[in-house]
């Protein structure tokens, strides 16, 4: 049975991540929000510390995969609190500081999570020190990942990639990109595979960087692949086209990266709630947890409603990560956590801006920035609508063909 209290062994990680959020991220948060596309050089040394946490098995802030020693777990018995939960807990704390700066950390990209999840032993060693972004979305392919048109054709010892990817987080700064491409468009979903494409590979071009509403410290790029030759050893997973099973293997990465995005939302929501609580307290409005909401100030009642929403998202996120650590199918829970946290963080940050009045709409507080940053957390790694569709399919027992 899951215990929803953070495990004691994660206390040091949580404290370290919190200290990073408060003393590393917060002081430079506004600086890099204003200086969009500027490289946050302050993070380079800090990334080395996170590498140490990952290699020690304590978890980091985004690069953990879905691997685990299930045989060891069966031998030991009982529940397991592993890398997924540790990474989620660390991510929550660090996004209490700044989501965009977390996304700007070297070697902590979602591409790293994909490699850690499905890469073989050789790939894990070769790309151990590589910062990998994830490239899925295309100009004519948004939420429907199965509609990918970027192609990968086997030519001797290489795959030749052709296509364009948009909205690639860390697409310019990362050392490599995990690119989703199809081996054969006529074979449907099962032909979609992922490839590690390293920077400097001929035919791989960063076309431009996007100007964005939020997470401005994180670079978001458009990438183009023109007869880009990638060693066949860089294909993640099996090269065989296995109808639906092949695509399911690629999609499985989402079951473990979606809780990470939910964790980002939870950390950001907590930051907004705590700042709003401070502002309300300074205004003489106290939230009384021993008194019914309808007997309190309207702002206090609204705050209690937002806090309840936050708690629900928080618990769903922990559940999805715990299930991954214990090798339980968590597609439903991962999508529920992502949907709830993504929607909640947008509602919470916007309501906090309202409750804070002028302090929520000016740059005197980070509330207005957090409200802008929040929206992407309801979009990337699968939009709110896609998550609800996945949840509906799982609950009703419908296939993607039966429920679109």
> How do residues 111-130 score in pLDDT, each as one tens digit?
888 888 788 999 999 998 89
Write down the pTM of the prediction. Answer: 0.92
pLDDT for 59 beyond 50: no
Q: What pLDDT, on the 0 to 100 scale, is given for residue 82?
A: 82
CA 67 to chain centre: 17
Q: What pLDDT, on the 0 to 100 scale, is given for residue 46?
A: 78
Q: What is the DSSP letter of 218?
A: S
Residues annotated as catalytic (active site), given as ranges: 381
Q: Cα(260)–Cα(241) distance, rounded to whole angstroms?
A: 29
Distances (CA, A) of 282 to 277, 285, 305, 351, 358: 9, 7, 20, 18, 14
Q: Cα(270)–Cα(276) distance, rounded to whole angstroms?
A: 10
Give alpha helix (H) positions in 283-397.
298-325, 331-356, 358-361, 367-374, 384-396
**Stretch 382-403: mean pLDDT:** 94
Angle, CA 13 vertex, CA 256 and CA 289 arms, to 5°: 85
> How do residues 310-357 score in pLDDT, each as one tens digit?
999 999 999 999 998 898 999 999 999 999 999 999 999 999 999 999
**Stretch 274-302: mean pLDDT:** 97
**Stretch 75-103: mean pLDDT:** 86
Q: CB 116: neighbour CB atoms within 10 A? A: 23
Q: Cα(365)–Cα(359) distance, rounded to whole angstroms?
A: 6
Q: What pLDDT, on the 0 to 100 scale, is given for residue 365?
A: 92
pLDDT for 302 beyond 50: yes
Q: How confident is the model at residue 260 (pLDDT cuts 50, 70, 90)?
A: very high
- Please name each of the domains of the chain with its CATH number: 8-126 (1.10.540.10), 132-242 (2.40.110.10), 249-396 (1.20.140.10)
Listed range (147-151, 221-225, 236-240) with the worst mean pLDDT: 236-240
Q: Cα(337)–Cα(92) distance, rounded to whole angstroms?
A: 13
């Amino acid at each position: 049975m899951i215990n929803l209290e953070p495990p004691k062994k994660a206390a040091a990680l949580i404290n370290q991540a919190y200290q990073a959020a408060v003393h590393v991220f917060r002081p430079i948060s506004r600086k890099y929000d204003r200086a969009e596309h500027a490289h946050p050089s302050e993070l380079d040394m800090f990334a080395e510390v996170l590498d140490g946490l990952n290699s020690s098995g304590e978890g980091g802030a985004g690069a953990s995969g879905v691997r685990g020693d299930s045989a060891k777990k069966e031998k030991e018995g009982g529940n397991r609190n592993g890398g997924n939960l540790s990474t989620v807990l660390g991510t929550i704390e660090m996004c209490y500081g700044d989501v965009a700066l977390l996304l700007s950390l070297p070697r902590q990209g979602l591409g790293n999570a994909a490699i850690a999840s499905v890469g073989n032993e050789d790939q894990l060693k070769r790309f151990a020190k590589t910062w990998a972004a994830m490239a899925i979305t295309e100009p004519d392919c948004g939420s429907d990942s199965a509609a990918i048109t970027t192609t990968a054709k086997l030519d001797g010892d290489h795959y030749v990639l052709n296509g364009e990817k948009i909205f690639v987080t860390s697409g310019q700064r990362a050392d490599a990109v995990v690119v989703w491409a199809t081996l054969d468009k006529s074979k449907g979903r099962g032909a979609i595979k992922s490839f590690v494409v390293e920077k400097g590979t001929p035919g791989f071009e960063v076309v431009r960087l996007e100007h964005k509403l939020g997470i401005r410290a994180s670079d978001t790029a458009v990438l183009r692949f023109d007869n880009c030759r990638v060693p066949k050893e860089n294909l993640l997973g099996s090269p065989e086209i296995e109808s639906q099973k092949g695509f399911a293997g690629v999609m499985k990465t989402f079951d473990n990266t979606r809780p990470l995005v939910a964790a980002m939302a939870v950390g950001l929501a907590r930051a907004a709630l705590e700042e709003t609580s401070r502002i309300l307290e300074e205004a003489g409005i106290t939230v009384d947890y021993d008194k019914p909401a309808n007997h309190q100030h309207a702002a206090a009642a609204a705050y209690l409603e937002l806090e309840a929403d936050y708690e629900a998202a928080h618990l769903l996120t922990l559940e999805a990560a715990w299930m991954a650590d214990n090798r339980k199918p968590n597609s439903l829970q991962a999508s529920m956590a992502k949907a709830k946290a993504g929607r909640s963080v947008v509602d919470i940050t916007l309501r906090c801006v309202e409750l804070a009045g002028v302090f929520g709409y000016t740059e005197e507080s980070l509330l207005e920035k957090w409200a802008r940053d929040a929206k992407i957390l309801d979009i990337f790694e699968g939009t709110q609508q896609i998550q609800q569709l996945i949840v509906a399919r799982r609950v009703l027992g419908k296939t993607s063909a039966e429920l679109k």
